[in-house]
Structures are given as C-alpha cells and as structure tokens.
C-alpha cells in the first residue's frame, strides 16, 4: 500500500464555535451553525473518518485497518483495536468550559476513557489565553469551596499564548481554552470530558449545560501546578512526548524536502503553516504516477501508512507536525 490518505472532515457544532475554519482554511463549513470542532482523523463507533479520494475513496479508517492492517499500521498491530489517535481542529470563538479528562487509573471506575492531548496554537487573538493546571498551592478543599462560591478563576493557572506555542495536557489536568484561539488538538482516541464549571453559560438549547462535578473532583491531579507551554520556535524538533504519542515539528524552507521511508511506522502529518506537496514514491524512489503528487494546504491532515514511501517538498517556508510512536 503506497498511498497518502486524506479524510473528509467531520464538523461538530459547539456553543463556543465560530467560522475560523472557513476564514482561515477556506473551507465550506455548515452554514448558520457555530462549528467548534473539525474531526480530521477518527476511528470511533460514533464517528468514522472516510477516505476523501484515491484507490480507497469511501473506505472508513476502520475499513482500512481491518482489511489492510499490516500495511497501514504495521505487521504487529491488532486489527480489532481502534486507531489510537484522534486529530481535530478547535475553533474557539468563545471560552470553553473548565474541564478535566480522567486518568487511566480512575477512568474505568467512572466508565470513561483517559485522554492526554496536545494543543498547537495555529492562530490566536492578541488577548487570548489558556488555562492548564492549578495555581501553586491550591488544595482540593479550596477548589471545592471555589466551586460553591463561583470563584474558580482564582484557583487555576492562566497564561497568554502566541502562534506556534504548544502544550501537552495530561489526563487529570484541569484546563480550558480561552476565546480567540484556533488550535490543532492531537489526542488519545477518547471522547470523555467532565465539565467542572461553565462560566454561567447556557447551551445551544438555551439551558445550562450538564456539569460533572463529582467525576471531575475524582479525576483532577491535585499536584499539577502551573505547567508551562513550549513557546514557538522556527526550528525542527520534538514538541510533545508522552506514552501515547510523540509530536515533532518539521520546518522546511522553500524547495526543501523530507522523506519518510516504508517499513518504519505509520505517521500523521499536519500542515500548520505554509504550502507543500506530498510525493508518493515507488520502490525505485521515483514518483509513482500522475496522481502521486498531492498538494498540502494550511489546515491539511493526513495519514502516511506503514508500507509507503513519501517525500514532502515545501513550496514556501512550511511548518508540519509529525505525530508518531502511537503503535
């Protein structure tokens, strides 16, 4: 299998969403709805990525793994296991809820899934911030009292961000994304979120959204104080590393290329700035056919299968995120 897989986005309506996916990436998003999320790569029962074009157009990601698992994921990957990573764009026109995802040690007892995630800031307003972790010294008792008095902002760690910044948010870390951020989220394949506070907001139906205070209090890591983001830099290197995945930033100048060899591992490629082309290479190292040159625009995400050889060539100064080490 020597094919670069791009998938149809799955758009999700959210009360805090906006139109940045349309204005920034020139996408045709659903009209008259606040679109907060675009699920770019997902393998879940309730949501399946569908191959956009090529030989396998119309195949779901699950189809690919079940029918061609050794070629897509490698010879040792159990084909009944879901794809372990979920990639999404977040358009945060308004602030998200203050929330937490359960750690692996507590998730089964809460009938949830752990979720460690990385946020890469692709665009942001001058005043935008993030909330991750607790302020130094805040105790569970103080946090619970602040829930009752609706003064939780005094308990959490807030910091400004800029384009190119990144932060790894572990399961158990309380967090929120402030208004004005466009974020690429690369995460464990999970959809468990416990809202501990929603800033007095109502949902799309005009009613207050459900909170999960008990589950949140059981899930929060009470020793996670003031984690700091990795600030943006125009250099290649690892920006996130955890048990679930590794993310590398790859910076290419105009005309520069980078090759991914067959038989190493599957990888996810995410285009966060610039423009480039993916070349699908045959065994002779040459472009394998007229459909083997795929344009990558800003906002693109795709899957490089285990068995393929690919070369990315930048047209302009380009920044790509490469997600790997997830099998």
195 in catalytic set: yes
Calculate ∠ Cα 178-182-188, nearest 5°: 90
Query: Is 315 domain-assigned?
Result: yes
| Same domain assignment for residues 106 and 244 | no
Strands, E assignment, 202-305: 237-241, 246-252, 257-260, 267-273, 276-281, 293-296, 301-304
Cα(52)–Cα(60) distance, integer angstroms: 10
Full residue range of the structural domain in which residue 160 is found: 10-219
| Same domain assignment for residues 212 and 72 | yes
| Same domain assignment for residues 205 and 267 | no
Query: Is 136 domain-assigned?
Result: yes
What Rg value do the Cα atoms of the chain yield, rounded? 20
| Same domain assignment for residues 214 and 246 | no
Query: Is 229 domain-assigned?
Result: no
| Same domain assignment for residues 215 and 319 | no
Answer yes or no: is pLDDT of 253 > 80: yes
Query: Is 96 domain-assigned?
Result: yes
Burial 46-82 (b: 16+ CB within 10 A, else e): eebbebeebebeebbbbebbeebbebbbbeebeeeee
* Structure confidence at residue 19 (pLDDT): 93
Query: Is 230 domain-assigned?
Result: no
Query: Is 1 domain-assigned?
Result: no
Q: What is the mean pLDDT of the chain?
A: 95
Confidence grade of residue 284 (pLDDT, cut at 50, 70, 90): confident
Report pLDDT digits (tens) over 43-65.
Answer: 999 999 999 999 999 999 999 99
Burial (CB < 10 A; 0-12, 13-18, 19+), residue 11, is: buried
* Structure confidence at residue 283 (pLDDT): 80
Report pLDDT digits (tens) over 311-320.
Answer: 999 999 999 9
The CATH number for 153's domain is 2.60.120.10
CA distances from 271 to 24, 260, 278, 290, 319 (A): 13, 16, 11, 22, 6
Mean pLDDT of 102-126: 96
Answer yes or no: is pLDDT of 289 > 90: no
| Same domain assignment for residues 144 and 258 | no
* Structure confidence at residue 291 (pLDDT): 65
| Same domain assignment for residues 213 and 287 | no
How many domains does the structure of the chain reveal? 2
Calculate ∠ Cα 296-179-129, nearest 5°: 90
Query: Is 3 domain-assigned?
Result: no
* Structure confidence at residue 290 (pLDDT): 58
Report pLDDT digits (tens) over 134-159.
Answer: 999 999 999 999 999 999 999 999 99
Closest CA to 158 of 252, 95, 71: 95
Report pLDDT digits (tens) over 256-278.
Answer: 999 999 999 999 999 999 999 99
Query: Is 2 domain-assigned?
Result: no
pTM of the model: 0.95
| Same domain assignment for residues 182 and 307 | no
Mean pLDDT of 226-235: 92
CA distances from 50 to 42, 44, 260, 301 (A): 9, 12, 23, 13
- The lowest-confidence range among 13-27, 194-208, 296-310 is 194-208
* Structure confidence at residue 208 (pLDDT): 87
Report pLDDT digits (tens) over 170-227.
Answer: 999 999 999 999 999 999 999 999 999 998 888 888 888 899 999 999 999 999 999 9
| Same domain assignment for residues 253 and 312 | yes
The answer to whether 240 and 300 are in contact (CB under 8 A) is no
How many C-beta neighbours within 10 Å does residue 44 have? 16
Cα(194)–Cα(192) distance, integer angstroms: 7
Mean pLDDT of 88-100: 96
| Same domain assignment for residues 243 and 215 | no
Answer yes or no: is pLDDT of 310 > 90: yes
Which residue in 195, 209, 249, 259 is the catalytic one?
195
User: Where would I find the H helices in the chain?
Assistant: 20-25, 61-72, 140-149, 213-219
* Structure confidence at residue 16 (pLDDT): 94
């Amino acid at each position: 299998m020597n094919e670069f897989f791009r998938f149809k986005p799955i758009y999700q309506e959210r009360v805090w969403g906006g139109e940045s996916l349309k204005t920034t990436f020139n996408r045709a998003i659903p009209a008259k709805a606040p679109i907060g999320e675009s699920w770019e790569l997902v393998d879940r029962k309730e949501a399946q990525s569908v191959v956009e074009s090529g030989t396998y157009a119309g195949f779901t990601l699950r189809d690919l793994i079940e029918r061609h698992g050794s070629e897509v994921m490698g010879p040792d990957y159990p084909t009944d296991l879901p794809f372990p990573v979920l990639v999404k764009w977040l358009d945060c026109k308004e602030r998200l809820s203050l929330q937490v995802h359960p750690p692996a040690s507590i998730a089964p007892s809460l009938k949830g899934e752990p979720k460690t995630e990385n946020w890469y800031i692709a665009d942001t307003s001058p005043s935008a911030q993030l909330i991750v972790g607790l302020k130094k010294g805040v105790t569970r008792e103080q946090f619970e009292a602040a829930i009752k008095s609706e003064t939780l902002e005094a308990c959490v760690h807030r910091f400004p961000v800029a384009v190119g910044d990144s932060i790894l948010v572990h399961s158990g870390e309380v967090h929120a994304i402030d208004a004005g951020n466009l974020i690429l989220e690369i995460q464990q394949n999970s959809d468990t979120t416990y809202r501990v506070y929603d800033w007095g907001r109502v949902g799309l139906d005009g009613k207050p959204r459900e909170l999960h205070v008990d589950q949140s209090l059981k899930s929060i890591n009470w020793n996670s104080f003031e984690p700091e983001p990795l600030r943006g830099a125009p250099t290649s290197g690892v920006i996130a590393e955890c048990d679930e995945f590794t993310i590398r930033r790859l910076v290419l100048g105009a005309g520069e290329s980078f090759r991914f060899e067959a038989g190493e591992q599957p990888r996810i490629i995410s285009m966060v700035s610039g423009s480039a082309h993916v070349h699908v290479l045959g065994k002779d190292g040459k472009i394998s056919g007229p459909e083997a040159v795929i344009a990558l625009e800003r906002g693109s995400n795709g899957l490089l299968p285990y068995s393929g050889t690919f070369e990315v060539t930048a047209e302009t100064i380009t920044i790509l995120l490469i997600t790997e080490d997830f099998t």
